[in-house]
Amino acid sequence: MKWQGRRGSRNIEDRRRMGGGAVGGIGGVGLLIILAVGYFAGVDVTPILNEVASGQGGGEITAEDEAAADFVSVTLADTEDVWAGVFPEQVGESYTPVTLVLYKGVTQSACGGASGATGPFYCPGDKKVYLDTAFFTTMSRQLGARGDFAAAYVVAHEVAHHLQDELGTLSQANAVRARSGEEQSNAISVMIELQADCYSGIWARHAEAQFGSLEPGDIEEAMNAARQIGDDTLQRNAGRVPMPESFTHGTSAQRQRWFMTGYQTGDMRACDTFNAARL
Q: What is the per-residue pLDDT across 5-56, written as a single tens digit (0 to 9) for each?
A: 889 999 999 998 874 333 333 344 444 444 444 544 444 545 544 444 434 4
Geometric angle at alpha carbon 196, from 84 and 250, rounded to 5°: 170
> Residues near 104 by Cβ (< 8 Å), separated by ≥ 6?
15, 16, 57, 58, 59, 61, 65, 132, 133, 134
Phi, psi (5° rounding) for residue 115?
A: -155, 170
Determine which of 22-31, 78-87, 179-188 has the lowest per-residue pLDDT on average: 22-31
Cα(160)–Cα(192) distance, integer angstroms: 10
Helix (H, G, I), strand (E, B) or coil at 129: strand
Cα(66)–Cα(48) distance, integer angstroms: 27
Helix (H, G, I), strand (E, B) or coil at 82: helix
Calculated CA dihedral for residues 43, 114, 230, 259, nearest 10 degrees:
170
Geometric angle at alpha carbon 243, from 242 and 248, rounded to 5°: 100
Average pLDDT over all residues of the chain: 85
Phi, psi (5° rounding) for residue 6?
A: -105, 170
Helix (H, G, I), strand (E, B) or coil at 25: helix
Cα(207)–Cα(199) distance, integer angstroms: 12
Chain centroid offset of residue 110 CA: 17
Quick check: 127 pLDDT over 50? yes
% of the chain beyond a pLDDT of 90: 61
Asked whether the beta carbons of 135 and 157 are under 8 A apart, the reply is no
Phi, psi (5° rounding) for residue 146?
A: -95, 160
Cα(61)–Cα(4) distance, integer angstroms: 20
Helix (H, G, I), strand (E, B) or coil at 128: strand
Determine which of 59-63, 80-84, 182-186 has the lowest per-residue pLDDT on average: 59-63
Q: What is the mean pLDDT of residues 251-272?
A: 97
Asked whether the beta carbons of 121 and 130 are under 8 A apart, the reply is yes
> Which among 257, 247, 179 is positioned nearest to 223, based on CA atoms?
257
Calculated CA dihedral for residues 75, 237, 246, 152, nearest 10 degrees:
0
Comparing 34 with 119, the larger pLDDT belongs to 119
% of the chain beyond a pLDDT of 70: 85
Q: Strands across the sheet with 12-14, in order? A: 12-14, 99-103, 128-132, 121-123
Comparing 24 with 228, the larger pLDDT belongs to 228
